[in-house]
Amino acid sequence: MTPEFVVNLVHGALMAAFSMSAPLLGIGLSVAIVMNIVQIATSLQDNAFSTMPRLAAFLVGFSVLMPWMLKQWMSYTIGICGEIAKYGH
């Protein structure tokens, strides 16, 4: 294995992880911003008030995005297993 091959392999793994986690992180960020604005507007500073909606949004987002995430994961895994002969050199 050449250093360029290893760099490309790690780059592909990191990009796959980023592309699968980015939508959930975006959901969490948007819900957190909305909840913080609501907390500022109502002067309510309860931790459970901001945590529970974020957890619920993550759960809903994870449930909705799971088929897409599994497709991404499987295509990456199939691509890696298809090139397994390159790893022995």
Q: Structure tokens of 38?
A: 């609501």
Q: Please check the confidence at residue 1 and state whether its pLDDT lies above 90.
A: no
Which pLDDT belongs to residue 23? 95
Answer whether residue 34 shows pLDDT above 70. yes
For residues 61 and 27, is the Cβ–Cβ distance under 8 A? yes
- For the chain, what is the mean pLDDT? 89
Place of tokens 């987002």: 61
The pTM for the full model equals 0.74
Assess whether pLDDT exceeds 70 at residue 89: no
Structure tokens at 31: 């819900």
Q: How confident is the model at residue 46 (pLDDT cuts 50, 70, 90)?
A: confident
Query: Which candidate, 32, 66, 33, places its Cα nearest to that of 51?
Result: 32
